[in-house]
Amino acid sequence: MGNSQAGKTLFVAGGSSGINLGIARRFALEGANVALISRSPEKIAAAAAEISALNGGRAIGVAADVRDYDAVEAALKQTHDRFGDIDTVLSGAAGNFVAPALGMSANGFKTVVDIDLIGTFNVLRASYAFLRKPGASLISITAGQATRASMFQAHVCAAKAGINMLTQCLALEWGPAGVRVNAISPGPIGDTEGMARLAPTPEAEARIKARVPMRRYGTKDEIADMALFLSSDGAAYVNGAIIPVDGGSGCGDGGGDALGGLGD
Ligand code: HXC
Ligand code: NAP
């Protein structure tokens, strides 16, 4: 176990699984106190127990929906009461399903925007009162769909685009207080619910990997590495950045199809 996060506190929204839980694990192993929220009481209790076992019992899990501002604020207050000023806030709660716009009800579209974008506003806005100032690092999880239109992902594309702009607006407003606001934009990450939904078959998985310049899925650890960096002194002048950790996927079509496979 390292100690780069010793004495520091991480709050994770959407922390019961996947990439966000992976980040919580890494911070716990580096010595951080950890608070996790998600909707499911069972999932969040299990995740908190797992993290507690890694960091000597300094983890709490609270059932809260990011669409409910008061519930988010109460969870942040509980975190602050237990651990003091919060050093890192990770806003990663999200929902996704694959559907064409015409197969999406108004409520279906709104649901994803509410969780991803409004939820991120709620988490970051409510956290401000409980942050270490100066010094706090706020990190949202966005996606390549924020800047690259994608079939059957109108809700996610719109919501994540909003997260990118929200990140930059808050970076402007909160930078003077020494609060940095950044976002990580993961590429396709293995062993996650997100990719299980977007690439449910081996064939779909192979097609996606073939378009990534690195020719593989990323790992949760690779996203955690960036989160840890953004919360370190080394990132003290990094503010308002949307940082891809995507194996180069955002650069363009990495499949080499356009020139008859010359890129393969
Ligand atoms: C069309 C759908 C649908 C589908 C739900 N809806 N699934 N419409 N196709 N497959 C519609 C419902 O009919 C309803 O509209 C509305 O969406 C709300 O559905 P609920 O089930 O009531 O919502 P809720 O319980 O809040 O659940 C939210 C959810 C669900 C997003 C729909 O899938 C969820 O909880 N997801 C969390 C886990 C997850 O998605 N993880 C992956 C994150 S990855 P009506 O009109 O009927 O009321 C990610 C990818 C980023 O974000 C990019 C990766 C590369
Ligand atoms: P995941 O395991 O499904 O993670 C989503 C988390 O959000 C879960 O812990 C879920 O727990 C929680 N959540 C969902 N709705 C919530 C709500 N309304 N309030 C509070 N918590 C809520 O998915 P993942 O694939 O690891 O994705 C994690 C993040 O990375 C997301 O922001 C996603 O958009 C982003 N991302 C993923 C990929 C990828 O390849 N997987 C790529 C780019 C970006 P509960 O069900 O208990 O609420």
Question: How far, in Å, is the centroid of ligand 2 from the Cα of 92?
Answer: 6
Separation of alpha carbons 187 and 125, rounded Å = 26
Atom number of ligand 1 nearest to Cα 186: 55
CB 240 within 8 A of CB 168: yes
Q: Which one of 3.90.470.20, 3.40.50.9100, 3.40.50.300, 3.40.50.720 gives the CATH number of domain 9-255?
A: 3.40.50.720
Residue among 25, 192, 205 whose CB has most ligand 2 atoms within 8 A, to mutate: 192
Output the residue whose Cα is nearest ligand 2's atom 21.
Answer: 38
- The Cα 253–Cα 202 span in angstroms is 20
82 torsion bin: left (phi>0), alpha (psi -120 to 50), beta (else): alpha
pLDDT at 258: 52
Q: The whole model's pTM is what?
A: 0.98
Q: What is the pLDDT of residues 71-82, one digit of tens each?
A: 999 999 999 999
In the reported structure, the alpha carbon of residue 80 is separated from the centroid of ligand 1 by a whole-number distance in angstroms of: 31
Cα 73 to Cα 126: distance, rounded to the nearest angstrom: 5
Ordered by start, the domain boundaries in the chain are 9-255
CA distance 60 to 90: 15
Q: Write the pLDDT tens digit of every residue in 202-215.
A: 999 999 999 999 99
Residue segments in the chain with a per-residue pLDDT below the cut of 70:
256-264
Alpha-carbon distance 242 to 236, whole Å? 15
Mutate to test the pocket of ligand 1, among 66, 105, 111 (most ligand atoms within 8 A of CB): 111
**Beta bridge partners of residue 181, listed in sequence order:** 138
Tell me which ligand sits closest to the C-alpha of residue 96. 1
- Indicate the average pLDDT of the chain: 96
Strand (E) or helix (H) holding 63: strand 59-63
pLDDT of residue 206: 97
